[in-house]
Amino acid sequence: MSFKSLVNRIDTLPPLSDSAQRILTMYAQEDEDIDVRKLSRLIESDTLLTANILAMINDPKLGFNNKITSVGQAITLFGTRIIKGFILSFVMKQHIKLDMGTYGISNAKFNDMCHLQSALLFQWYMTVDIKRAQILVPLALIMETGKAIFAQEMGASDYAHLFTEEIYHAQNMEEVEYKYSDTSSYYIGGLLFEHWNFSQRYTDIMKSLDFDDGDLDVDQLDLDILDVIRTAINVKGFLNKENLDKAMALVKELELDEAAFMKAALRIKNAYEDSLRAKSAKA
């Protein structure tokens, strides 16, 4: 396995579907002035996309209280930028086969992790800076996608078991990734976004999460916020005490309201644990 083999795997991925291309083109052209009715019609023209968005929004693990029954209602409640995240997540699931065993986590838990990261950023940062949150919440939902590419490539190598063991014991997972590939899964995510012509801001953020590239136009605060999120929720734990303590230290360094962050984190944690108990009771 090498950086080149990871890039080659990305290059072999198929292009996006026509409906996904049309929707993302609309976002690229209109951004904040998107015609909500037109967007609703485009989404609803894809039955699977519609069902997936409604399923994700209504997932009790995310802690949202209102039952959403239509795409139009979802867009009105969350806004076009937040909905973009659900669209991008669906696109990823369509094109990338998950097999996250090399990270020591099941596919279902990996999906939970991605949704919880986005939900935490939403619950926390919407109370701090709505405009920035609307941009970063969609990215938080898909920022771990590079791990799916990394897991595929590592799983096919002779070092899969060693990698899994080192990830399990690691304090810094990105250091383990770098040891085996000279890059990180977040940088690979940036290359993936580039491959599918996602937002340049998203691409540059992902490439900069672990590497300082002075040539990229990136707001340091964007990186800091996502660092808080990936510290609190990652493949090694979802809002456990160790992760929360580390995340709270980062929030303090940013001179943000620690109580507000903890309130959002506990709300997400409790909702997730309640959903797991409810699921277990039904089994």
Q: Give dist(CA 267, CA 124) in Å, integer.
A: 10
- Antiparallel, parallel or unpaired: β 237-238 and 233-234: antiparallel
Q: What is the mean pLDDT of residues 192-215?
A: 88
Higher pLDDT, 114 or 28: 114
Which tokens belong to 212?
Answer: 């300082």
Q: How many domains does the chain have?
A: 1
What tens digit of pLDDT does each residue of 31-45 get? 567 888 888 998 888
* Listed range (21-35, 203-217, 227-241, 256-270) with the worst mean pLDDT: 21-35
What domain range includes position 151? 3-282
pLDDT at residue 100, rounded to an integer:
94
Tell me the CB-side half-sphere exposure of residue 233, using CA atoms within 13 A: 27
Which tokens belong to 115?
Answer: 């949704």
Q: Give dist(CA 265, CA 124) in Å, integer.
A: 8
Burial 61-98 (b: 16+ CB within 10 A, else e): bbbbeeebeebbebbeebbbbbbbbbbbbbbbbebbeb
What tens digit of pLDDT does each residue of 55-110 get? 888 877 666 667 888 888 888 888 888 888 888 888 888 888 889 999 999 999 99
Percent of the chain at pLDDT > 90 equals 52
pLDDT at residue 228, rounded to an integer:
98
- Share the mean pLDDT of the chain: 89
pLDDT at residue 181, rounded to an integer:
93
Q: What is the mean pLDDT of residues 125-139?
A: 92
Q: List the CATH number of the domain containing 15.
A: 1.10.3210.10
pLDDT at residue 248, rounded to an integer:
97
